Amino acid sequence: MVKKLKKQYETPTEAWSEERIEDEIELMEEYGLRNKKEVYNAEEEIRGLRRQARKAAASDDEDQELPLLEKAKSLGLIRENGDIGDVLSLKTEDILDRRLQTAVERKGYAETVLEARQLVTHGHIYVNGERVDVPGFLLTQEDERNIELRMPEPEDEEAENQEEQEEEE
């Protein structure tokens, strides 16, 4: 029997909220997201970080604080001298800014975020020398420095024409 995977995000509890829906649509357009599920995934990531920050702040235990702060710093969500308060003040846009799709557009490899998404899904983007084809891949600061675009070389039309002529003979 195969174990059924549960979804990794929570949907809104209210069925209809015009303001929430408009905000989600605005985020989808600004960051080139395919559907609202990607917005919900980003919101869930922020909720998880905030939850850990609240637990760490309540316990006053540095052992809980340090891994959380290191993770947030490596993702580029907070500054080097940031604290738990900075983690608690994160917004959904902070996570969406760390996505590979957004970084590709910001680096100038694509003119729009939708074009950047297409470059990523078609496998033209490499991070640390490895091909990554997931637009929602969260980049660390180190990963962001090592993004490369590798487009396939167009074949010469002359070479193709010569091959066709040889086949005909």
Q: What is the pLDDT of residue 133?
A: 94
Q: What is the pLDDT of residue 63?
A: 84
Per-10-residue mean pLDDT of the chain, 169 residues long, equals: 80 91 96 95 94 90 87 92 92 96 96 96 95 95 94 68 63
Q: What is the pLDDT of residue 21?
A: 95
Rounded CA-CA distance 39/164 in Å is 50
Q: What is the pLDDT of residue 135?
A: 95
Q: What is the CATH number of domain 99-169?
A: 3.10.290.10
What lies within 8 Å, CB to CB, of 68 at 6+ separation is: 49, 52, 53, 56, 84, 87
Q: What is the pLDDT of residue 64?
A: 83
Instruction: Provide the 8-state DSSP code for 138.
Output: B
Q: Domain ranges in the chain?
A: 17-92, 99-169
CA dist 130 to 68, 113, 139, 143, Å? Answer: 27, 21, 13, 11
Q: What is the pLDDT of residue 15?
A: 85
